[in-house]
């Protein structure tokens, strides 16, 4: 075709697919480009293999690379569960500095060297010195629960 060897045609197709990956959404063109490069390698190393073997290599390699490539891309591009601001305190333990009493709207805790106003999630009192776990952030207050002894 066009006076070019089959391996060179597959190489050009592979490069076109790989370059086009930059302009597409998703992760499909790169695996197809790599599959075309595999077909190019087959055509170069086994020049008598014929178009059928090259197409078979392209299809098999394409399917495998798309399947595993999608899994890898999803794993790499997954949004990390990085908590920022006060949200980072959820699940952390602390200590009560001032008695937590919902009726009197009092309570202060220390979590990671920071002092916060606190409310007990079940609205019972928690005495000074007891250990707590942060359940939720509600504005400038932490909703906490008493740790079980």
Beta-carbon contacts of residue 16 (< 8 Å; ≥ 6 apart): 33
Contact 76, 69 (CB under 8 A): no
Query: Does 2.40.50.140 match the CATH number of domain 85-146?
Result: yes
Partners of 95 in beta bridges: 110, 131
pLDDT digits over 48-80, tens only? 888 999 999 999 999 999 888 888 877 777 766
End-to-end Cα separation, the chain, in angstroms: 79
Place of tokens 């390699």: 61
> How many Å apart are CA 65 and CA 17, to the nearest integer?
13
Q: Where are the domains of the chain?
A: 6-77, 85-146
pLDDT digits over 88-107, tens only? 888 889 999 999 988 888 99
Q: Which residue stretches of the chain are H helix?
A: 6-20, 29-45, 50-77
DSSP 8-state secondary structure symbol assigned to residue 87: G
Specify the pTM. 0.51
Average pLDDT, the chain: 87
């Amino acid at each position: 075709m066009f006076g070019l060897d089959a391996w060179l045609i597959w190489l050009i197709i592979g490069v076109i697919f790989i370059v086009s990956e930059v302009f597409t959404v998703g992760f499909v063109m790169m695996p197809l480009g790599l599959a075309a490069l595999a077909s190019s390698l087959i055509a170069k190393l086994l020049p008598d293999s014929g178009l059928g073997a090259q197409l078979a290599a392209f299809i098999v390699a394409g399917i495998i690379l798309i399947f595993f490539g999608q899994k890898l891309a999803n794993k790499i591009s997954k949004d990390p569960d990085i908590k920022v601001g006060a949200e980072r305190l959820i699940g952390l333990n602390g200590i009560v500095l001032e008695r937590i009493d919902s009726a009197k709207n009092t309570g202060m805790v220390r979590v990671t060297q920071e002092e916060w106003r606190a409310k007990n999630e079940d609205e019972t009192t928690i005495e000074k010195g007891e250990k707590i776990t942060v359940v939720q952030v509600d504005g400038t207050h932490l909703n906490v629960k008493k740790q079980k002894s």
